[in-house]
A and B are shown apart, each in its own frame.
Chain A
């Protein structure tokens, strides 16, 4: 699962262990929404800095 944050990071958690897997920098404004790609290990995040990032993460199990 994932969530945006007002501290400009994108957070990705492992639901089973409750650990933060990724804390991704890059945005320069509050991250409003993060979405997972339906088939590939890609996350898309959008923020108050008017930009959208598509980022590749490691392949899931």
Chain B
């Protein structure tokens, strides 16, 4: 023991201690924690273990996935009737499994406080889960057809859209359905504003209907433009714009401010494709487009650069945990 205590005075150990100081500090510490050498890779922009992480574990197509409001977890819903909770940082471990749906899970959402998860399923129900215990808090039963989409507002209100041509509004503190809104066709997507006053529904006929939930009467606005089924919708973080994805292979951005005039469809985005599978493909806003006109990734020098392809390479390191395989892919440029 005494010999070892004397060792730091020797040259070898002192040099080793110097190394992390001379190299870029963050990179070497990150590579130490991960056990892999990543010095030659591109500059990192996030705290992910590797630039690209592959999460496997579902036994069917994964139909929906969402980050938690604090960004530390991700929940995914799949055709295999399960919801899985993942850690985003570190080894991306699968920490919890939510069992209870009788059929495919079609959409998942976090509550605003990050304590609960809502899920819509093809078993005609929506469920509310506790993320700490994976226990089912309650079910929302009443739809006669499969529930295509759900959207929470705040921590308690949930809107569900179903193939039975209705949208239902629920409060998780009240047992029964609060409101039923009937549509002429099956409803494929729904979105509610943060304040809980605006409701948007996307239908099989390609029309988006807006409702003012403070009033008892019907549609306040119909947004026409899509030529095919609306497969997904999201309100922008500031609530002023609605993004909708349709099977006519376009995405449209709608101005949904209360007193706007003229054409509500402000932008059309092309590129994403739909196929014969007719899956309900969702769309999302980046979280930074919070105020005014949304500039999520806008930057002047990028306007001249049309595409920034990232090229994932074959897996460089593999690791296993108790539940599922997680493969980390290193991205070299």
Contacts and interface: CB of A to CB of B under 8 A. Distances in A.
Nearest to B56: A51
Given A15-B289, A53-B53, A41 B272 contact: no
B288 A60 contact: yes
Interface string B39-67: 00000111110011111101111111111
Contact of B282 (A7, A33, A37): A33
B33 interface: no
Given A16-B293, A26-B312, A42-B46, A48 B52 contact: no
A7 B51 CA distance: 23
Contact of B284 (A3, A30, A40): A3
B287 interface: yes
Interface string A19-54: 111111110011111111111111011111111111
A38 B46 contact: no
Dominant SS among interface residues on chain B = loop
A61 to B, nearest CB: 5
Contacts of B63: 32-33, 46
**A: interface residue count bin:** 35 or more
Given A4-B281, A23-B307, A50-B58, A18 B65 contact: no
B59 A60 contact: no
A50 to B, nearest CB: 5
Nearest to B283: A3
B178 to A, nearest CB: 27
B71 interface: yes
A30 B275 contact: yes
A57 B65 contact: no
Report the contact-size class of chain B (Cβ under 8 Å from the partner). Answer: 35 or more
Contacts of A40: 45-48, 71
A56 B263 CA distance: 36
B245 A38 contact: no
B53 A54 contact: yes
A17 B271 CA distance: 14
Given A15-B267, A61-B298, A22 B71 contact: no
A48 B61 CA distance: 4
A45 to B, nearest CB: 7
A23 B271 CA distance: 9
B55 A51 contact: yes
Contacts of A37: 46, 67, 71, 88, 287
Contacts of A47: 61-62
Nearest to B69: A38
B245 A3 contact: yes
Given A18-B267, A41-B45, A50 B56 contact: yes
Given A1-B296, A46-B76, A60 B52 contact: no
B319 to A, nearest CB: 15
Contacts of B61: 29-30, 32, 47-50
A37 to B, nearest CB: 5
A52 B243 contact: no
B308 to A, nearest CB: 6
Which has the most chain A C-beta neighbours within 10 Å: B62, B269, B279?
Answer: B62
Contacts of A25: 309, 311-312
A43 B216 CA distance: 39
B316 interface: no
Interface of A: 1-7, 9, 11-26, 29-42, 44-61
**8 closest A-B pairs by CB:** A6-B275, A46-B62, A5-B272, A48-B61, A52-B55, A3-B283, A46-B65, A33-B282
Given A4-B282, A38-B71, 6 more contacts: A18-B267, A33-B64, A37-B67, A40-B47, A47-B62, A52-B55
